[in-house]
Structure 1
Amino acid sequence: MSITPAAAINQLIVAKFGGTSVADYAAMCRSADIVITNPHTKIVLISACSGVTNLLVALANGISDITSRQQHLQQLTNIHQQILDQLQHPNTVSDAIYALLDDIASAATQAATKPSPQLTDQLVSHGELLSTHLFNQILVEMNAAAIRFDIRTVMRTDAQFGKAIPQPEIIRQLAQQHLIPLLATHVVVSQGFIGSDSQGNTTTLGRGGSDYSAALIAEATDATTLEIWTDVPGMYTTDPRITTAAKPIKEISFSEASEMANFGAKILHPSTLVPAVRQQIPVFVGSSKAPQQGGTWIRKTVDQAPLFRALALRGNQTMVTLTSLNMFHAYGFLAEVFRILAEHKISVDLITTSEVSVSLTLDQTDTGGGAPTLPLAAVEQLNQLCRVDIEQGLSLVALIGNRMSNSKGSAKHIFGALDAYNLRLICYGASPHNLCFLVDEADAKSVVSTLHQQLLE
């Protein structure tokens, strides 16, 4: 039996397990073992089984071909049936599983003729509803006092289907009322990613929102630790798939980890750390496949804060350059640009300016899509103000560290290593924790590998 890294910390632990950690019966058993080993783990939030959300999204988008639709539904049935067949007492949860699969089939038929954001959230939420039935039963069969809880009872959001915004104060009130009383006698198993609006309609927090859900629940219940269990043993100095020289990070600050998540490190959802920072809740990231390997602790302060900590890479970037001679020694130009962007709900990520032009990148809010784009109506409005040039096929490289803008000679080390590459946009100095630049997508991995070798090895 493995030892949970947070075992030395008493009080309340909220643990979140991602899709690969509950992919099948064996994965669920490993994750359940982690829960049972630490008596302080009292709230467990899990994702849908690996691959399930993608199938549900495809169905929610509308599959008019009946044969194709049935194939998707059969794949969903097979994933859950294989786990069900290995339970000691499958009949305990089989009725609930089959009822949810029937609901999916019905909603998929409706989506084939009339898809909608609200129906999509309703349909996609079934992944977590299914996995929690199975995971809870495994815990019970391992003699844990586990109880399944519908997180929609407490995870209150607005009604922006697909990317709902949580309401932390209401979540805290509801958690104190409905969730906290269960913890004295039970391990509570519930869903990540999903919530409900004030009318009881199911909502989702967007792809990757399970981490965010766990952080919100940790905040609402005054947890002492948040554990994120995934398929890798913590955070690395860069993606190990880019360079085998990537090294595990044992400890990292909230500020550094937030930058890494925001700029493309896929271990954490970018919003995850916001509730943890508000309540100063330490976060542990580890592998459910090999918990004995340890992982990464994310805390407010750390013992070592190196100048260069890690590199993150985010693809599918769009750069928009706005040029107008009217900018020269004028005021109000940028205000008008951002008014137009706000009108079309366009979020800006990076920005640099000169006397007559401004270049910016568009924030990628939909993690399931390609490069973000400017709506045609926004382009038409901006064209009345200035010339608009849109460039895609770019990647963002972010160097994460500490006191970078205050360290003499750091820029020489960085840019000296990049002589062979064309840098399209550079953002430096706004934060002491990052230096960001855009490069051609074809060069991105080579740039990361080169910088890692020069600065981190």
Structure 2
Amino acid sequence: MKVLKFGGTSVGSAENINKVISILEQQSKNSNIAVVVSAVGGITDKLLEAANLACDKNKDYIDKYNAIWSKHNSVIEGLFLNPNKDKTIQKSQDELQDLISIKLNELRNLLDGIYLINELSPKTKDKLLSFGEGLSSTIIYHTLKSRNLDATLKNSQELIITDLNFNNAAVNFDITDSNIQSFFKSNSNSIVLLPGFVSKSVSGEITTLGRGGSDYTAAIIAAALDASELQIWTDVSGMFTTNPKLVKQAAPIIELSYQEAVELSHFGAKVLYPPTVMPVLKKRIPIVIKNTMDPEAVGTTITEDIKPNGSSPVKGISNIDNIALLTLQGNGMVGVPGFSKRLFETLAQEKINIILITQSSSEHSICFGISDSDAQRAKEVIDIVFEYEIALQKIDPIVVETDLSIIAVIGDKMKSHQGISGKMFSTLGRNNVNIRAIAQGASERNISAVIHKNDVKKALNSLHEQFFEIKTKQINLFITGVGNVGERLIEQIKQQKAYVKENFKINLRIAGLSNSRHMIVNDEGINLKDWKEQLENGEKASLEGFFEHAKNLNLRNSVFVDITANEAVSKIYGEYLKQSISVVACNKIACSGNIEYYNELKSLSRKYNASFLFETNVGAGLPVIDTLSHLITSGDKVNTIQAVLSGSLNFIFNNFNSETTFYDVVKQAQEEGYTEPDPRIDLSGIDVARKVLILARESGHSIELSDLESDNFLTDDAMNAETVDDFFNTLKTDEAYYQGLYKSAQEKNCQLKFVAEFNNGEAKVGLKEIPEGHPFYNLKGKDNIVMFYTQRYPEQPMIIKGAGAGADVTASGLFADIIRIANN
């Protein structure tokens, strides 16, 4: 015989009950089945709400009662649809509605009584709650009979006998097992329907089996009958690797041991109530968790022993929310026996359940986790019990921390696999999830950690990614500045997303976009097909607002990408790093500004385990900083740097000659996007100065921008022009001056290049005449070149050369930094 239990969602509507009936019809063809049903979904809560209102003398309890009536009537009408006005069907419906009316009238009388006496005792509460399962089982039984199925209805209260501990009664298994075995021995029906949750005491009082009581009812019956299988039918396809509401990638677990199932159910897996496992565990009866809405899904099978499959022993990651952590500590506890006994006896007397315990080996403190709702009461009684020791300052008043959650990695035989706890804690650490307490038994079947409740989603996703996904790492990007370069970066991410995921196991996802006007954020990822339209219709942009979104979403592996030249944006990098959000900067201001801020960002990056990368600050997509970093890390020392670092200036001087005007070339460079809207930013050399300053700092030198020597080749009129148009007019007026620069170089068979140099701790930038044969001489187009003279490369420098400007190459440099972070 098999025992099937259907939860509240499974019997929550006529549509779902029809699915249940189809399952029963199919399974009863092969063998007799016992079927335990819960109350119609939501009814137990409505019964409690109505009773509490009545007890409080609030006549709104009548509205709740009417809602209960309406819900059951709606279910009956849905089950007995009768478009052809069949008299037999109508008679069955009328008879059922009469029965339900009688039961509901009894419920109304009970609620009226609670209202009159202004009291809701545990005994009355059990009587009240028993109506839910009584109503649902009556409706389903009469529906089965109307469809000519061989079914009978047996009241579980006649079988399951308990003590008088109302609301959570203890079962008398000797009497109960005898009752169940006797009834089923004499029963010949294919389907026996039983209400779950309800029972009676030896003296005949109505009792209930507590939270999850319908599961417990089914397990008691299965154990008494030595059933071949206990099936728990719910609204999900088994127990999941973690909470599917918080982790999209969560998947059903095909097989679990009894012990693993108990651990998972204790730690928040709602589809199974922990005591349910106990009666069937003793008899080694398999439990199968199935989905009423998808009967063909495999579900989860729970058995005595699961054969190892060579994969990770971790079976699931679970969590318990609304936890408070209490700490009893003090020097007076060390070496003194009895503190633990007094502490836990006090909590037991107050019926406060302890969820987690940990104690330091120094005996200086005991830390334990309980429900948030019990925290204040626990503190009060413990402080009273230890009042004498507290007064003598032998121990401190109990410390309470709230707004916490417990996460647990669960699986059999984790003890025999090295590195499980290491992976767990390092994964949490990388994502800035602070651990408040740790508990791990010697069996290492459960490794638990207490964290802040706001970190639960990030923690579950990070751990699930580590233990269950094919090493695919999700990177959540928050991009500000979506102009020319930003647009190209988004296009590159869109184009390469599938390739990067397939080949490098990196899932790139843009979670936030911002420009100077609007911003959008989506924790599920922004659809890149119409991101421009979404952004245009987004909320008003603000630097602080964008940061708050990224902080509050608290997504794992988050990266802030700055593609602006805005000083205010650069000033907020530290806030991102403090949240363990990595920073990728195209903006040069942070790294070339005040040395203290540069050092602070480096320090924050190390402290909060968040990368701070800015490869595109020098050479756009060229690996200049990365190469320099490898040289320094490997122990090399930079002596001299010589470089042409401005793609725009190189473009200008490569195209300027006696047959062109300086004005025309600069105008062309501006129009083609090689310069800033105000070309003086490029032509003044400040951009090059910032770049060589960054290289000097990355080489280990403390140097400020004011320390650089700059040879400005522009005229005073050009630099002092009030507007960009005025600036261009000065180029026309001073054409002879610029032609003179060109002529001087030509006469010496030289090329004009704007060169950055760093030597012996000193840096300078300026226009130089480069002779033929020099590596800079044939530098074409917008190319950049950097030469590193080091202890290992004293005579022949290490040279990096290539396109140093342009939206595509700059975007590719940003892309490369993002991938570096993902691979970290």
> In the TM superposition, what is the alpha-carbon distance from 1:378 to its structure 2 partner?
5.0
Of residues 128-137 and 197-206 in structure 1, the stretch that sits farther from structure 2 once superposed is 197-206
Compute the displacement of 1:65 (Å): 5.4
Task: Look up the match of 1:164.
Answer: 169
Higher Cα Rg, which structure: 2
1:427 aligns with 2:435: no
Determine whether 1:43 maps to 2:53.
Answer: no
CA drift of 1:325 comes to 2.4
Partner of 2:267: 263
* Contact 1:238-1:311 within 8 A present in 2 as well: yes
Task: Give the SS at the match of 1:37.
Answer: helix
Kept in 2, the 8 Å contact 1:45–1:192? The answer is: yes
Q: Secondary structure at the match of 1:350?
A: strand
Q: Which has the higher contact order (CA 8 A, sep 6+)?
A: 1
Q: Pairwise mapping of residues 368-407 of structure 1 onto structure 2 (< 5 A)?
A: 371-373=373-375, 374-375=377-378, 376-377=380-381, 379-385=383-389, 386=395, 387-407=397-417
Residue 31 (str. 1) matches residue 9 (str. 2): no
2:458 corresponds to 1:452: no
- Give the length in aligned residue pairs: 439
Match of 1:220 in 2: 224
Question: Structure 2: how far apart are the matches of 1:422 and 1:198?
Answer: 51
* 2:357 corresponding residue in structure 1: 351
> C-alpha separation between the residues in 1 aligned to 2:412 and 2:169?
33
Summarize the Cα distance change of 1:136–1:384 in structure 2 as closer, same or farther, 3 Å threshold. Answer: farther
Q: Of 423, 438, 443, which aligns to 1:413?
A: 423
CA displacement at 1:313 relative to structure 2: 1.2
TM-score of the two chains, using structure 1 as the length reference: 0.92
Closer/same/farther in 2, CA of residues 217 and 105 from structure 1, 3 Å limit? same
Paired-residue identity, %: 30
Any conservation in 1 of the 2:421–2:447 contact (CA below 8 Å)? no
Q: Cα deviations across residues 265-292 of structure 1 (Å, max 9, x unaligned)? A: 1110111111111110100101111101
Cα deviation, 1:197-233, whole Å, max 9, x if unaligned, reads: 1111111122222111111111112111000000011
2:32 touches 2:190 (CA, 8 Å); kept in 1? no
Q: Gapped runs of 5+ residues in structure 2?
A: 81-88, 390-394, 470-824
Closer/same/farther in 2, CA of residues 117 and 17 from structure 1, 3 Å limit: same
Q: Does the 8 Å contact 1:59/1:111 carry over to 2?
A: no
Match of 2:504 in 1: none
CA distance in structure 2 between the partners assigned to 1:124 and 1:27 by the alignment: 22
Code of the residue aligned with 2:135 in structure 1: it is L
Question: Which residue of the partner structure matches residue 108 of structure 1?
Answer: 111
Structure 2 equivalent of residue 324 of structure 1 = 330
Deviation string for 1:78-101 (max 9, x for gaps)? 111112224231133223211111
1:300-311 correspondence to structure 2 within 5 Å: 300-304=304-308, 306-311=312-317
What's 2:43 paired with?
52
The 8 Å contact of residues 323 and 388 in structure 1, kept in 2 or not, is answered as yes
TM-score, length of structure 2 as denominator length: 0.52
Give per-residue Cα distances to partners, 1:150-187, cap 9 Å, x unaligned.
101111122111122222222101212334422x2341
Contact kept? 1:405, 1:429, Cα under 8 Å: no
Distance in 2 between the 1:247 and 1:452 partners?
Answer: 10
Q: Which residue does 1:81 correspond to in 2?
A: 73
Residue pair 1:62, 1:108 contacting (<8 A) in 2 also = no
Residue identity opposite 1:121 in structure 2: D
Please point out which of 132, 141, 159 is paired with 1:136. 141
Q: Which moved more, 1:155-164 or 1:414-423?
A: 155-164
- Tell me the residue number matched to 1:117: 122
Partner of residue 190, structure 1: 194
| Aligned-pair CA distance for 1:41 | 4.6
Does structure 1 retain, via aligned residues, the 8 Å contact 2:239–2:300? yes
Deviation, 1:341, is: 2.2
Q: Classify 1:156/1:174 alpha carbon distance in 2 versus 1 (closer, same or farther; 3 Å).
A: same
1:236 is displaced (CA, Å) by: 1.1
Match of 2:2 in 1: 13
* Equivalent residue number for residue 3 of structure 1: none
Instruction: Please say if residues 197 and 213 of structure 2, whose CA atoms lie closer than 8 Å, have aligned partners that are also in contact.
Output: yes
444-453 vs 161-170, which deviates more? 161-170
Question: Partners in 2 of 1:379 and 1:360 — Cα distance?
Answer: 15
Could you tell me which runs of 5 or more consecutive residues in structure 1 were left unpaired when the two chains were aligned. Answer: 1-11, 365-369
* Whole-angstrom CA distance in 1 between matches of 2:297 and 2:103: 37
Bigger shift: 370-379 or 415-424? Answer: 370-379
Distance of 1:231 and 1:410 partners within structure 2: 31
Partner amino acid for 1:446? Answer: K
Query: In the TM superposition, what is the alpha-carbon distance from 1:384 to its structure 2 partner?
Result: 4.4
- Other-structure match for 1:22: 11
Structure 1 residue 37: deviation in Å?
A: 0.5
SS at 2:402's partner residue? strand
1:15–1:44 Cα contact (<8 Å) kept = yes
Partner of 1:4: none
Query: 2-side partners of 1:195 and 1:431: how far apart?
Result: 37
The structural deviation recorded for 1:61 is 2.1
Which is worse superposed, 283-292 or 79-88? 79-88
Larger displacement relative to structure 2 (65-74 or 214-223): 65-74
How far 1:312 sits from its partner (Å)? 0.7
Distance 1:430 1:203 in 2: 39
Give the direction of change, closer, same or farther, for the CA distance of 1:115–1:413 in structure 2 (3 Å limit). same
Secondary structure, counterpart of 1:235 in structure 2: coil
Any conservation in 1 of the 2:346–2:381 contact (CA below 8 Å)?
no
**Mean alpha-carbon deviation: is it higher for 185-194 or for 336-345?**
336-345
Instruction: Report whether the alignment pairs 1:96 with 2:94.
Output: no
Do the aligned residues in 2 keep the contact of 1:13 with 1:224 (CA within 8 Å)? yes
* Separation (CA, whole Å) in 2 of partners of 1:92 and 1:83: 15
Alignment check: 8 A CA contact 1:265 1:312 kept = yes
Secondary structure in 2 aligned to 1:272?
helix
- The aligned amino acid for 2:369 is T
Instruction: Give CA deviations for 1:366-407 in whole Å, capped at 9, x if unaligned.
Output: xxxx63343544552244455212222111101111222343
Matched, 1:284 2:293: no
Closer, same or farther: CA 235–106 of 1 in aligned 2, 3 Å: same
Cα gap change, 1:169/1:378 in structure 2, threshold over 3 Å: closer, same or farther?
farther
| Distance (Å, rounded) in 2 between the aligned partners of 1:167 and 1:233 | 33
Contact 1:17 1:47 in 2 (8 A): yes
Partner letter of residue 95 of structure 2?
T
